[in-house]
Chains A and B, each alone.
Chain A
Amino acid sequence: MHELSIAIDIVDIATREAAKENATKINKVDIEVGTLSGVVIEALETAMTEAIRDTMLEGSHISIHEIPAMARCKVCRHEFKIDDWLALCPECGSPENEVIQGRELRLKTLEVT
């Protein structure tokens, strides 16, 4: 359950950034999680409900956006959606590709008052 460690880091970053802006309350948090990030969104949601207790984020709306993973074929440069690290290029069949999207684990925006 590394998701709780991740959730605690989210709360820390959010609290610090909100304090910089002299905010007293965080109302909404936008998070991006790539499908190859190694984080399970359902587990992160559960962890967030615990991590935000007694913090500026208590009662805030936690919005988690899933980012689909994309790869670029190293042979034909075709870009395609992938579900795992073993995907083959649908155009030329090559297993050689680089993941260009889907490893995100990012705190995007906060809405504060």
Chain B
Amino acid sequence: MCGTCGCSDQEGGVTIRRPGDPDHIHHHQHSDGGHDHGSHSHGHGSHSHGHGSHSHNHGSHSHGHDHHHDEGQPAGHTHHDAGREIRVEQDILSRNNLLAERNRGYLEAKNITGLNFVSSPGAGKTTLLELTIRTLKADLDFYVIEGDQQSMNDADRIDATGVPVIQINTGSGCHLDASMVNRGLRQLDPASGSILLIENVGNLVCPALFDLGEHRTIVIISVTEGDDKPVKYPTIFRNADICIVNKIDLLPYVSFDVAKTREYAQRINPHLQFFETSATTGEGMEEWYEWLKAERTNSRS
């Protein structure tokens, strides 16, 4: 089912393409298509039939327990009984988590380091990846999965750096999930010993819940945002390993307090490691490169 509107499209409006692939338009009209979600109404919220109390009123056809339902069934057969209880006790995210573990296993078997970059839109994820790739591609082998609702723009930018990239367009979806990354990995086919950079959909809320199978989650916050972002979006900061404060070249022009951000973020997640960078001027990038190289070396051992 489509995660956007709940229609029966199996791919959920998600498309995966390489730069240069012919356009693959997903014909999936959410407003004026064959299924109109807007006008549709059936009041599930107010709907109630008391199963616990055995009143058992199935809408228009109501039948008591003593009705004679003799259609050749054995005597004593209770047709609609009061309802059995099934104890499921299952984590709702278990399917995504299971698939994420499969992705992680695939990456580990091929000795690939998987990094998931999350931020709000416009924090500079793509620019940071572009500069990182251009600077380090002689030493490290990069593969990139780009996640956006629409467009090939980011994949085209990464393609220009000369490393393999695929674009996942989530349609109206607000995050990448393990299943999309699984499909993306099959198409991308990253080489053993490489680094997989996954740029999630720009969003600080939804990606926090969906493990992709990465080894590290990197949250990027730019100084043009509020310095209280960690307090406002704690889940993503709680789950991240690294926090990159980007666009520090703009600090003289904005009221962003880096120390305050660090303090907020470390109260939510004491293990968070910080980098302060400008992907435009290159300031602070050296420390980030050193971390990335060390991360790659460590996973080799």
Contact = CB atoms under 8 A, between A and B. Distances in A.
A47 B175 CA distance: 16
Contact of A9 (B95, B205, B235): B95
A65 interface: no
A2 B206 contact: yes
Contacts of B94: 13
A9 B45 contact: no
Given A13-B92, A50-B37, A86 B231 contact: yes
Contacts of A7: 6
Interface residues of A, number: 51
A55 B130 CA distance: 45
B219 interface: no
A107 B267 CA distance: 31
Interface in A1-39: 1-2, 4-14, 17-18, 21, 23, 27-28, 31, 36-39
A23 B84 contact: yes
Given A2-B206, A4-B3, A111 B234 contact: no
B176 to A, nearest CB: 11
Given A49-B45, A84-B234, A108 B92 contact: no
B268 A86 contact: yes
Residue of B80, B92, B173 contacting most chain A CB atoms (<10 Å): B92
Contacts of A56: none
A111 B48 CA distance: 14
Contacts of A21: 84, 86
A50 B6 contact: yes
Contact of B47 (A4, A59, A96): A59
Given A4-B3, A36-B235, A17 B93 contact: no
Interface in B79-122: 80-81, 83-96
B215 to A, nearest CB: 21
B51 A17 contact: no
A21 B208 CA distance: 34
A31 B90 CA distance: 10
Given A38-B235, A85-B268, A5 B3 contact: yes
B92 A107 contact: yes
Nearest to B206: A2
A90 interface: no
Contacts of A73: none
Nearest to A106: B91
A2 B45 contact: no
B250 interface: no
Given A59-B47, A110-B85, 9 more contacts: A2-B174, A2-B209, A23-B86, A59-B59, A86-B268, A105-B91, A108-B88, A109-B85, A112-B86
30 contacts: A1-B174, A2-B210, A4-B4, A4-B5, A6-B93, A6-B209, A7-B6, A9-B93, A10-B92, A12-B95, A13-B90, A13-B95, A17-B86, A45-B45, A49-B42, A49-B45, A51-B6, A61-B51, A62-B44, A85-B268, A86-B231, A105-B93, A107-B90, A108-B88, A109-B86, A109-B87, A110-B86, A111-B84, A112-B85, A113-B84
The 7 closest A-B pairs by CB, nearest first: A2-B206, A50-B6, A85-B234, A5-B3, A85-B268, A110-B86, A111-B83
